[in-house]
Amino acid sequence: MTTKLTCSTLLLFLITSTIAYSQDGVMDGVEIHGNFEVYAQTYNEDSIIGAPNVPEKSGVNAFGNFIATKGSFTAGVRIEAYMPPVQGFSNNYGLQPVGAPYRFAQFSKGKFDITVGNFYEQFGNGMILRAYEERALGLDNAFDGLRVKVNPIPGLYIKGLVGNQRFYWQKSTGYVRAIDGEIAINELVESLMDKKLRLTIGGSFVSKYEASGIRNFEYPENVASWAGRGQINYGGFSFLGEYVYKFNDPNSDNHYIYRAGQGVLLSATYSQKGFGINLTAKSIDNMHFRANRDAQLNDLFINYLPALTRQHTYNLATTLYPYATQPAGEIGIQGDIIYKIKKGSALGGKYGTTIQVNVAIINSLDTQQITSPNDLDSEVYLPNDPSREGYKANLWTFGDKIYYRDYNIEIDRKFSKSFKLKTSYIYFVANTDVAQGTALGKNVHAHIGVLDGLYKVSKKHSIRTELQHMWIEQDQGNWAFAMVEYGYSPHWFVTVLNQYNYGNPTKALRVNYPTAQVAYINNANRISLAYGRQRAGIFCVGGVCRPVPAANGFTITITSSF
Amino acid sequence: MLSKPNLQLILLFINPTHMFKSIITSTLLIFLSFIAVCQNEGRSIPDVTVKQLDNSSFQTGDITNDGNPIIISFWATWCSPCKRELNAIAEDFDEWVEETGVKLVAISIDDARNMHKVKPYVDGQSWDYDVYVDPNADFKRAMNVNNVPHTFLIDGNGHIVWQHNSYAPGDEDELHELVEKLANGETID
């Protein structure tokens, strides 16, 4: 069935394109565009780093988007191939080597926008609903259904959708029905159009239907949730808040309890030329919200809960002890300051200096267990038994368990026309038992120092070096990292790097992870070839993570836009 | 006579085995790419909704610059090369504007995790750009951006005439030359 559908989609697309080409006039004004990506790895067995013998010796993930636009109409298809999936991506992708899991047709004119087929969507901050793709994570929870966006009067924006969600090559059994409204007061009320005070308010309602099936308990087949949000801006000041509530939704993440879920996000910002500050607070309780109540890992989330930590970029800071959001419950605050010391001042130097400071504090939520998860799992209780509530929690109180601490500072200074240096210090306290499911029984304390120097040799030639070091007494001990990147604008990059776990308590595991890479860029096309060892670790985007297995071999990446 | 891709496609319908499917897909991808490449010249800016820094909506179809060139640059607060590029351009941007009347539109692809840090960062760096946030990646998809940084150049008639993925120091000089060409009424190959 799926095969047939895929083929028909492809055929239809091809025929449409061909006809369109052969007939003058029909194709006038039609724009065909898209993009393309191939990510391939080869695998050598490397027992010391834990890279297994992969029988197929290689993995390839590829996709191509082809989109045709004419006036108000857009239609598109994405063809994906997994032959087989690159190690670390779900094997579910390998269940079908090639297919077209994403296709849509859209009509958008003036105040109307209608999409049938697949689409991505976000309401507010996404805490109630967000369908998105993060290719590097292998994550795609696109809706398949219908979406209508209307802008009936200035300042009023309404979105409604119905659909089920992508589950690799299948669909969720649960359906999602959702509506969102947003009012921009300054657009709605004409006399406020040019006022400095800007106000927007919004609200969402999301409902999921999933048949109960044969179970020990009676599950709510319809689960509703709602959210309200607002944002005020005045000059350099900005305040925003969003609250989300989800009615009881017994699922595999919460041991099938009948407890409701809720979440709150508050953010305050002030900025002016050369200075910016942002403070954010977040609290989440029992907010796993998925289209299938038995879904696991990163699968089939209807909502998205942003992580409240800085998204780091340096290798040792990103892949060893990253933070992942805990939808079951967490509370935290984050502060972020950026300050640019003026050019020509004593501290700022001739070219100016930028300082960024970031602090994140995340703890467990303050909860009192009513019933132990083990008892809940044994399913000895009746559904209307109050013990099936699971636990009690206070959304506004910090629990005593540290989940994460991140204190970091970055100083970026240009010393001369040709030399720039970025210096960073990062201190993590990570509860890896919670974030990564380890069993260390204690928190990891990691200190990271980074020197990132950029030397512009001439107009087109540059050399960038990164020296990183991690001081840590737990887990795998100290790490050192060095990288040299030669850039030849606008076409070439040559990079050599090495990571060395010289402080590993086990002598035999004091391993080097060298990698060499060449990349060629021509306009919107990029090809890169790397060879080396890939350390087992965690790869995260936006607080969502996937484990990356150890690997030894070639990696080829091709990306292209047209 | 049937062209090769069509023939293979019919074969696929008769016998949709995996091997055929992979051949077909590859052929099809290449075939469609050819169509697409031929079509590529002078696409105009697609019209989708993004957010301004005060959270109000903005239509990307309204990006104009009185017949002067426009740079559209996709970036994120967590993307080091993006920030290197936009900071490098910022150093001489006053001169660029004076010489060519160019406008730079910086599209942040930050999601809910970081989008509240966009304004403090932009103000902190004193960027003189038009900055919008694209949290649902609608504009990113419409412009077929794979990864950031990805920079587009739009001519005075609103057509995309050049694009570049990734950033190496010195790329800003090439961009500057291209902007000057456009401002002088020359075309870009």
Q: Which residues of A touch B162 (CB under 8 A)?
A: 523
Q: Which amino acid appears at position A509 of this protein?
A: L
CA–CA separation, A352 and A345 (whole Å): 8
**Which pLDDT belongs to residue B32?**
52
Closest partner residue to A490 among B31, B121, B171, by Cβ? B171
Nearest to B121 by CA among A198, A356, A333, A361: A356
d(CA B23, nearest CA chain A) in Å:
10
> Domain locations in chain B?
4-39, 49-183
Q: Which residues pair with A531 in a beta bridge?
A: A516, A554
Q: Which residues of A touch B137 (CB under 8 A)?
A: 120, 132-133
Q: How many helices (H) and strands (E) does chain B have?
A: 6, 7
Closest partner residue to B119 among A37, A133, A269, by Cβ? A269
CA–CA separation, A349 and A31 (whole Å): 50
A3 contacts B120? CB cut-off 8 A: no
| Same fold? A110-306, A311-562 | yes
* Structure-model confidence comparison of residues B33 and A520, the more confident one: A520
Q: Which residue of A lies nearest to B159 if distances are taken between CA atoms?
A: A31
Query: Is the per-residue pLDDT at A537 higher than 50?
Result: yes
Query: Is the per-residue pLDDT at B127 higher than 80?
Result: yes
**Which pLDDT belongs to residue A542?**
66
A340 contacts B117? CB cut-off 8 A: no
d(CA B37, nearest CA chain A) in Å:
6
What percent of chain A stands above pLDDT 70? 93
d(CA B97, nearest CA chain A) in Å:
19
Q: What are the tokens at A224?
A: 């509703």
CA–CA separation, A266 and A127 (whole Å): 12
Query: Is the per-residue pLDDT at A157 higher than 60?
Result: yes
Q: Which residues of B touch A198 (CB under 8 A)?
A: 54-56
Q: Which residues of A touch B85 (CB under 8 A)?
A: none
Dump the DSSP string for A194-220. T-SEEEEEEEEEEEEE----S-SSPPP
CA–CA separation, A85 and B59 (whole Å): 38
pLDDT tens for each residue of A40-56? 999 999 999 999 999 99
Confidence category of residue A440, pLDDT binned at 50, 70, 90: confident
Residues in chain A: 562
Nearest to B81 by CA among A138, A547, A521: A521
Confidence category of residue B29, pLDDT binned at 50, 70, 90: low
Confidence category of residue A29, pLDDT binned at 50, 70, 90: confident
Q: Are A43 and A64 in contact (CB under 8 A)?
A: no
In this prediction the pTM is 0.90
Mean pLDDT (whole number) for B167-177: 95
Q: Where are the alpha helices (DSSP H) in A465-524?
A: none
Q: What is the ipTM of this complex?
A: 0.92
Q: Are A554 and A536 in contact (CB under 8 A)?
A: no
pLDDT tens for each residue of A385-415? 667 888 999 999 999 999 999 999 999 999 9
B166 contacts A526? CB cut-off 8 A: yes
CA–CA separation, A45 and A30 (whole Å): 49
Nearest to A301 by CA among A407, A188, A176: A176
Q: Which residue of B lies nearest to A528 if distances are taken between CA atoms?
A: B166
Mean pLDDT of all residues belonging to chain A? 91
Confidence category of residue B39, pLDDT binned at 50, 70, 90: very low
3-state helix, strand and coil shares in percent for chain A, rounded to the nearest 5? 10, 55, 35
Query: Is the per-residue pLDDT at B167 higher than 50?
Result: yes
- Coil vs helix vs strand at A142: coil
Mean pLDDT (whole number) for A301-321: 93
Q: Which amino acid appears at position B177 of this protein?
A: E
Most B CBs within 10 Å: which of A150, A338, A413, as the mutation test of the B interface? A338
Pick the CATH number of B49-183 from 3.30.950.10, 3.40.50.970, 3.40.30.10, 3.40.50.10420: 3.40.30.10
CA–CA separation, B74 and B132 (whole Å): 10
- Pairing between strand B103-108 and B70-75? parallel
**Which pLDDT belongs to residue A545?**
78
Confidence category of residue A66, pLDDT binned at 50, 70, 90: very high
pLDDT tens for each residue of A78-94? 999 999 999 999 999 99
Nearest to A126 by CA among A272, A6, A225, A271: A225
Pick the CATH number of A311-562 from 2.60.120, 2.60.40, 2.40.160, 3.40.50: 2.40.160
Query: Is the per-residue pLDDT at A208 higher than 50?
Result: yes
CA–CA separation, A333 and A283 (whole Å): 9
Query: Is the per-residue pLDDT at A161 higher than 50?
Result: yes
Least confident piece of the model among A163-172, A347-356, A375-384, A449-458: A375-384
d(CA B163, nearest CA chain A) in Å:
5
Q: Which residue of B lies nearest to A525 if distances are taken between CA atoms?
A: B165
Question: How many other CB atoms sit within 10 Å of the CB of residue A61?
Answer: 22
**Which pLDDT belongs to residue B5?**
39
Confidence category of residue A17, pLDDT binned at 50, 70, 90: low
By the CB < 8 Å criterion, does A16 face chain B?
A: no
Closest partner residue to B165 among A240, A543, A559, by Cβ? A559
* Cβ partners under 8 Å of residue A161, min gap 6: A119, A121, A143, A145, A146, A147, A148, A176, A177, A178, A179
Q: Which amino acid appears at position A402 of this protein?
A: I
- For the CA atoms of A187, A189, A194, A198, what is the dihedral angle to 10 degrees? -70
Q: Which residue of A lies nearest to B48 if distances are taken between CA atoms?
A: A108
Query: Is the per-residue pLDDT at A496 higher than 80?
Result: yes
Q: What are the tokens at A412?
A: 């970026």
A186 contacts B123? CB cut-off 8 A: no
Q: Quote the radius of gyration of chain A (alpha carbons, Å).
A: 26
Q: Are A54 and A43 in contact (CB under 8 A)?
A: yes
Closest partner residue to A304 among B33, B112, B173, by Cβ? B112
A490 contacts B174? CB cut-off 8 A: yes
Confidence category of residue B189, pLDDT binned at 50, 70, 90: confident
Query: Is the per-residue pLDDT at B38 higher than 50?
Result: no
Least confident piece of the model among A182-191, A221-230, A250-259: A250-259
Please give the CATH architecture assigned to the domain spanning A110-306: Beta Barrel (2.40)
Mean pLDDT (whole number) for B10-21: 42
Closest partner residue to A306 among B22, B112, B126, by Cβ? B112
Confidence category of residue A543, pLDDT binned at 50, 70, 90: low
Interface size between A and B, measured as CB pairs under 8 A: 238
Least confident piece of the model among A6-20, A134-148, A260-274, A290-304: A6-20
**Which pLDDT belongs to residue B30?**
52
Q: What are the tokens at A361?
A: 């504090």
d(CA B101, nearest CA chain A) in Å:
22
d(CA B166, nearest CA chain A) in Å:
8
What percent of chain A stands above pLDDT 90? 78
Mean pLDDT (whole number) for A330-339: 97
Mean pLDDT (whole number) for A416-420: 93
Mean pLDDT of all residues belonging to chain B? 83
Mean pLDDT (whole number) for A6-30: 55
